[in-house]
Structure 1
């Protein structure tokens, strides 16, 4: 036993510091750079043909890979290959000394500068002086200036001459999120690449590979939520994913959609669909209750209004038959399709304007939840107001304006009676003074399937472009039910006019075939059958 003090266990060496996912999975090759295929192809062709510009300008929103791309270009231009004999390539080896030094940020000939903290002419003067000297060990001396738009006017002016006629061994790589602040004189001296926002489906696939590499379980819906929240930024998405993994259960729990939604303060999509349905139905109490439920769960009222706007946009895309994007649940697609069948474009535009105004008011209001409630009540009130186009038609025909602007309000028992046949449908339109639509139904509509409130008509007979939309809108007004009117390439059944003509032709043939008429026609060959009486109908 020693005579000295017991100092306990000696200090243990600290482990390597944790690297956030956004840094750990920074692209090291062009193949790892997602969503920028056009730029990679252009750079590859330029390198192969030895048509390299002396200055590149990389623009785009945050987190799409501007600085990473600049470093990849530096590696591509200075790579010497594993054997030390290689030249510029779009596929840098990553193992030679220049590649490793550039990746680790220690290459003496690749100088990175943050324009946010080096904005003056003195900083640029140092670059101009240093650019005159050849590279120490690399093929090219490369200057990477991040957020270049923050340089002062004097700094930009000082750079112009060198930028226009740089030494052959120098390349400039500029990155900026605000290209509109870069002088035109600089833009004209650079080869510009606009890096696009990364699509949500590509981000979700990328995050799936990351969580697999990290040994973390994650639901596909959770990754889709993170991808949408990233708004096209890989860095933002990886930061959110980092947080979601930390938010998950410590005992190996999976990253699930509910936890991500709570973490981000997003509205539950099912609850939003219920709220949207209540708005369309003009049901104030359920709509306000649904809003308060989201608020009590910690969802920002502005986020609810934003999600309602996204829903209106989704319905509009569904009505146009456009792709509604990846990561959308089947039940949401079905709901959007149903609403699209019953909502007209004027109603959708009106909904958008009302909700957009509400979102703006909520975002700057001193009482956000109260303002959101008033905004939703304004939308509900609009359900009782006549649509401008319908109002004009009713005034022209002298009818009483009663058409609601929004569909799916609760139907009365009288409204629930739907026409049982296409003929009854035409009569209903005629009785409601929809003479043009009634004529179209009788003369040109060939039904493929009639199952009210759904009508599928043949596209074999050309119809006016707005016929299906106007028919659905007016039938909703008349019956109080949302109608779905679509077309199909099948021939369908004969039109009502064709059916009536066929009946008349059959009756004529039967009359001519009767013994008395046939004998008379034989006796008088030039006689014509002008008319007859149908005893069954009489």
Structure 2
């Protein structure tokens, strides 16, 4: 007889043999014992955790007739009757498994509906099991909806999927849903130990731990890896052989790396990373083992003694936990997780591993609120030499005097003659911070103590501060009788507008570019090339036509393809026989510079209008803290 793989040989035959899915087994067992049977079941969960196995056991429970042939529906199928044996062998005529990954269309759904109209041939129930049901098309789902909602009394549907989010809500509402959970590594290890004992395969505990972790909650994956490990190890499972097969990294490497990081020992860190390279160990596996070790360290830091004392892998976590502060542990854990995704982007995975580890050294030791776990318990923790040097530099900077910025020079205010008024007695400060009526202060608000913007500094220097008259009603246009004559403030100084050195060739080029832009003949980078270019020369070209020389500063606009597109636009829309050549240089007369000059002139005119407006001048004269916010004036 040919060899049967462990995943098939040790597939559960009844609910008692099911591992890690007690919540599903309990619900189905009680439903079968009480006769509360649903017409459609949906089993969800990741790969290899028992969805198809539960479906087959349920089909045996519904069709088992017992060893004597007189049994009925039961939660404990006998396993010896014709129905049980043929379902296990996948040849029972009334049990149909449909793989929706390859049979997903409406034709397959119609075939199921047609077969559903016939009563069972030999069994008590017909059971249709649709695996990977989320891959059925929408039309196939819609075709099954009516039969799925009200099937014949002899028909049961079982759907299995790894992605229930892709199932139609109308299908989900018609099914009794059970979510099968990934299994814990301890559960997987215990089951593997029982299987290997039946197979008479010697195994080391460390090898079992590695296989159970590598399965990531899937019992089928665990059994498949065990088959591979038995072949790799020559009939026995030893930890070094299993580690080599899986490409796992020894915890001692992760331990030495974390020790180097905790002590900020860069040479030791690089030496260990080079050792990983020389041994051919996986960089991704190294970060995974570091993350697993850091997770156990975090548990030990928060809840001392919570780690499993029987697991030898937790000894390193208990030893390393005092070396890092809890927030440092969390930071390094996040870096290890994110670093695994960055390894594929690095030119070399070992260089990527080194960069991930060096990233932690960029953070100061015991800085930013870091507090080591040993410090919280009262134990002394001497800093590493690198940390002591860093602390010395920080202390030296703290002792250095902080330079005080020089105050902003302001023009002296002219003396103002006021009538002598006796000073009133100071009023007691109210206890409440806010009042219904408060005296208006002539002092400028706090935000006006800042120095004005550079472009507004000349304007404020030319404006002599004028004190506001006391108890004078505020009017936008004060009359001469109510307010003493105040000289109008000088208009703000506007920066000079750089003039464009206009040329005849520039006029011609600007006219052509404006026509092309109006006709939408140029766009994107071609339009930018035309706007930024200066026509410097027009020469006769060999073979007829003209050669137009353009000068452009930006290198990205001097691409030959852009020049060709601009040349084609000029030839097509302007009717000129020309060839454009682009050279490097700073243009003096380009359409863009002309537009900038025109915009600057409009801006200067707009600012002059505002500064010379009588109303604006009156407001500036009456309110000592009033000013025109630079950059707030926009031409119409």
Aligning the two structures, in what range does the TM-score lie when normalised by the shorter sequence? 0.5 to 0.7
Among 356, 376, 384, the residue aligned to 1:410: 384
| Cα contact 1:265–1:298 (8 A) shared by 2 | no
Where does residue 60 of structure 1 map in the other structure?
Answer: 45
C-alpha distance in 1, partners of 2:66/2:58? 15
Partner of 2:363: 382
- SS of the counterpart of 1:382? coil
Matching residue of 2:314: 333
- Aligned to 1:126, the other structure's residue is in SS state helix
1:371 aligns with 2:352: yes
Unmatched runs of 5 consecutive residues or more in structure 2: 372-380, 390-636
Corresponding residue of 1:209: 194
SS of the residue 2:362 aligns to:
helix
1:137 partnered with 2:122: yes
Q: Which residue of 2 aligns with 1:483?
A: none
Cα deviation digits, residues 447-471 of structure 1 (max 9, x gap): xxxxxxxxxxxxxxxxxxxxxxxxx
**Preserved contact between residue 279 and residue 380 of structure 1 (Cα < 8 Å):** yes
Q: State the TM-score, normalizing by the size of structure 2.
A: 0.57
Question: Does residue 1:79 correspond to 2:64, yes or no?
Answer: yes
Kindly report the root-mean-square deviation, in angstroms, between the aligned alpha carbons of the 2 structures: 2.3
* Distance apart, 1:335 and its partner CA: 2.8
Change (3 A) 1:129 1:324: farther
Q: Report which stretch shifted further, 179-188 or 312-321.
A: 312-321
Q: Report if the CA contact (8 A) 1:224-1:327 is conserved.
A: no
| Max Rg structure | 2
1:3-402 superposed matches below 5 A: 16-249=1-234, 254-321=236-303, 329-330=311-312, 332-384=313-365, 386-388=367-369
Closer, same or farther: CA 40–348 of 1 in aligned 2, 3 Å: same
The answer as to whether partners of 2:307 and 2:314 remain within 8 angstroms in 1 is: no
Gaps of 5+ in 1: 1-15, 391-406, 416-538
Q: What is the Cα deviation at residue 30 of structure 1?
A: 1.1
- State whether residues 113 and 144 of structure 1, in contact with CA within 8 Å, keep that contact through their aligned partners in structure 2: yes
Cα distance in 2 for partners of 1:342, 1:149 equals 49
Tell me how far 1:120 sits from its aligned partner.
0.4
Distance 1:367 1:411, change over 3 A: closer
Whole-angstrom distance in 1 between the partners of 2:82 and 2:227: 32
Given that residues 365 and 387 in structure 2 are in contact (C-alpha distance below 8 angstroms), is that contact kept between their aligned partners in structure 1?
no
The Cα of 1:81 is off from its aligned counterpart by 0.7
Residue in 1 that maps onto 2:491: none
1:52 partner SS: coil
Deviation at 1:321, TM superposition (A): 2.4
- Which piece of structure 1 moves more, 359-368 or 138-147? 359-368
Q: Is the 8 A contact 2:46 2:162 kept in 1?
A: yes
8 Å Cα contact 1:302/1:359 also seen in 2 = yes
- Show CA shifts across 1:76-99 (max 9, x none): 111111111111111100000100
The structural deviation recorded for 1:333 is 2.2
> In the superposition, relative to structure 1, how do residues 200 and 383 fare at CA in structure 2: closer, same or farther (>3 Å)?
same
Greater shift in the superposed pair: 343-352 or 36-45: 343-352
Contact 2:296 2:307 (8 Å CA) reproduced = no
Question: Number of matched residues?
Answer: 380
Deviations 1:431-487 (A, max 9, x none): xxxxxxxxxxxxxxxxxxxxxxxxxxxxxxxxxxxxxxxxxxxxxxxxxxxxxxxxx
Moved more, 321-330 or 186-195: 321-330
Q: After TM superposition, give the deviation of residue 293 of structure 1 in Å.
A: 1.7
**Larger displacement relative to structure 2 (333-342 or 305-314):** 333-342
Structure 1 pair 293/56, CA: closer, same or farther in 2 (3 Å)?
Answer: same
Q: 1:138 to 1:122 in 2, by over 3 A?
A: same
Q: Quick one: distance in 1 between partners of 2:305 and 2:155?
A: 46
Q: Secondary structure of the equivalent of 1:359? A: helix
Stretch moving more, 297-306 or 80-89: 297-306
Contact 2:65–2:83 (8 Å) recurs in 1: yes
Distance 1:176 1:343 in 2: 43
Structure 1 residue aligned with 2:615? none
Matches within 5 A, 1:475-486: none
| Closer, same or farther: CA 408–36 of 1 in aligned 2, 3 Å | farther
Q: Is the 8 A contact 1:305 1:355 kept in 2?
A: yes
Aligned counterparts of 2:111 and 2:382: Cα–Cα separation in 1: 69
In the alignment, which residue of structure 2 is the partner of 1:530?
none
